Amino acid sequence: MAAPPLLTLQDIALTFGGTPLIERAELTIAPGERACLVGRNGSGKSTLMRIAAGLVEADAGKRFVQPGTTIRYLAQEPDFSGFATTLAFVEAGLAPGDAGHRARYLLESLGLTGEEDPTKLSGGEGRRAALAQALAPEPDVLLLDEPTNHLDLPAIEWLEGELRASRAALVLISHDRRFLSALSRATVWLDRGVTRRIDQGFSGFEAWRDAFFEEEERDRHKLDRKIAAEEDWLRYGVTARRKRNVRRLGNLHALRQARREARRPVGSVSMQASEAEGSGTLVIEAREITKAYGARTIVDRLSLRVTRGDRLGIVGANGAGKTTLLNLLMGGLAPDSGAVRLGTNLQPVILDQARASLEPTQTVSDVLTGGRGDSVTVNGQSRHVIGYLKDFLFAPEQARTPVSVLSGGERNRLLIARALAQPSNLLVLDEPTNDLDLETLDLLQEMLDDYAGTLLLVSHDRDFLDRVVGSVLVSEGEGRWVEYAGGYSDMIAQRGVGVQARTTAGRKEAKAEKAEPRERAAPAGKPKLGFKDQHELKTLPDRMRKLEAAIAQLRTILADPGLYARDPARFDKASTMLAQAETELAQAEDRWLELEMLREAAGG
């Protein structure tokens, strides 16, 4: 017999400003659940999550929580008042009997030391501290709204492993496809105020959603045809048997009313980049460029050539210097040594990560027009600004709205709209996917596929990188950057490991006061591999294959949604073994990479 659900929402309804946001929402969370909550931006996902957490009261419907169930919700805006350090904040989230070292472990895994003053945290640091507090007590139900926001690739992959090994039931909201696919076993779709559920992970959702929309469109066409037939009868039908005719006319009115009240999916984004004349064949050439701040080297003797039409992804841990590298390549920052040459006839458009180029007091319309009239030129054609804004899901009344009241996703869409309206043959996009929903990500990808110019892309979204870029430039640490052919997955296949986190020592060093540039150590003789190292290098690939096979088997066992209720001991054992195997695999991959680099340096 299946265990009773830990959390249930039934017939939830909520109205904001006279408009129904949620009309008939259902959510059932069983022990060991792994569910993702998906829907367009503005569909009410975060609101429904807050209702589930007990932070918002619905206008109608029921919320039931099994007695004794602990629920943790990842707060978008955590309250740090009363805490001297981030460690104290996270320790406050521990339950009685929890190990105190878990708080420090979580903080360090998320790139914090625990000594930070909570009042001086950046938005990203505050988000990571809140995530550490939510994870700290191992609750029965974990509600996570965009947990990967502000996390770099190493932290995202660490979080995947942590959640996979957790016994807590999970409900996830995220725009990161790979993150959702890796963790979810059920999908709850919130669309036009109503939830629909499939007992498949996110990887099966999009095909199911598209089939649903196709069926809905067929039904709409049937209704349209029926209305047309009834209208034809009304004009040309016989007038006898008046009572029957009156009834039929009433049915026609009812059909028209049903057609009017049918809520269609939210409009789709229409993206098209304004393209300038082609650049020269050479776009960017960097020769042995180096850049350091004090004792820390950001870029060390990098040589790179970008030609017309290239699509280059730039990835690395937070603080690795990705934005600094972009500035060097674009000529906005001079290298300490080496040289950067830009090609001829370049017309770059840069989308910055911080959105600092948006003036809060400007209206949405003025951002696109510069305050000059009501039209914007896209690909040489003049368009009314309201029509162009509709392509990016802005309502006409938002044209006069100040930037300061826009959500994060709306600001990002506005920046993209402005960037794409400017003629360019070089797009430089620094974290363009932040706060975008999945459908908008799809359309941005399609636009980039059709773009004839050159692309430089900084992103932590592994799936987006795989879909868009042709090569990846990866930070290897200590200022060393290496280019790999293909997308992010191809890079891992060639490199043997994903992006590595910077060490705590490295983070502390980056925050230290600027010192004099360090002197380069004298070159040492070529390292040599001893017999033991050679044997280890030879045997490690087989060990890694065995660990990968064991991990795949354990994941298959844990994919059984009823395992926890049926056999908690086996679930716990499999979870522990999975975490251990993943740790051993990561260590083996690190050791293999270290030995392989030694072998190459020795000329072997």
- Residues flagged as binding site for ATP: 39-46, 316-323
Q: Are strands 7-16 and 19-29 parallel, antiparallel or unpaired?
A: antiparallel
Q: Are strands 381-384 and 375-378 parallel, antiparallel or unpaired?
A: antiparallel
CA dihedral (575, 90, 174, 477) in degrees, to 10, reads: -80
Phi, psi for 454 (deg, rounded to 5): -105, 145
Q: What is the separation of C-alpha 53 from the centre of its chain, rounded to a whole number of angstroms? A: 22
CA angle 193, 196, 197 (to 5 degrees): 145
**Binding-site residues from annotation:** 39-46, 316-323
Q: Would you say 265 and 210 are in contact if contact means Cβ atoms under 8 Å apart? A: no
Q: How far is CA 374 from CA 273, 369, 535, in A?
A: 20, 7, 71
Cβ neighbours of residue 569 closer than 8 Å, sequence gap 6 or more: none
Cβ neighbours, 10 Å, residue 203: 14
Residue 144: name the closest of 121, 127, 167, 123 by CA: 127
**Matching residue, tokens 């609750």:** 139
Q: Would you say 27 and 195 are in contact if contact means Cβ atoms under 8 Å apart? A: yes
Q: Give the three-class secondary structure for 228.
A: helix
Q: Give the three-class secondary structure for 118.
A: helix
Amino acid at 153: L
Residue 171: name the closest of 42, 56, 38, 65 by CA: 38
Q: How far apart are the first and last CA of the chain?
A: 61
Length in residues, the chain = 604
Q: Are strands 141-145 and 169-173 parallel, antiparallel or unpaired?
A: parallel
Cβ neighbours of residue 442 closer than 8 Å, sequence gap 6 or more: none
CA distance 350 to 460: 18
Q: How far is CA 54 from CA 75, 132, 172, 484, in A?
A: 12, 20, 16, 47
Strands of 343-401 (E only): list them.
348-351, 375-378, 381-384
Q: Is the dihedral of CA 83, 89, 93, 99 positive or negative?
A: negative
Cβ neighbours of residue 388 closer than 8 Å, sequence gap 6 or more: 368, 376, 378, 417, 421
Q: Would you say 563 and 557 are in contact if contact means Cβ atoms under 8 Å apart? A: yes
Q: Are strands 141-145 and 7-16 parallel, antiparallel or unpaired?
A: unpaired
Phi, psi for 467 (deg, rounded to 5): -80, -25
Strands of 385-493 (E only): list them.
426-430, 454-458, 471-477, 480-485
Cβ neighbours of residue 298 closer than 8 Å, sequence gap 6 or more: 291, 292, 321, 324, 325, 479
Q: Would you say 300 and 478 are in contact if contact means Cβ atoms under 8 Å apart? A: yes
CA angle 246, 251, 254 (to 5 degrees): 130
Q: Would you say 309 and 451 are in contact if contact means Cβ atoms under 8 Å apart? A: no
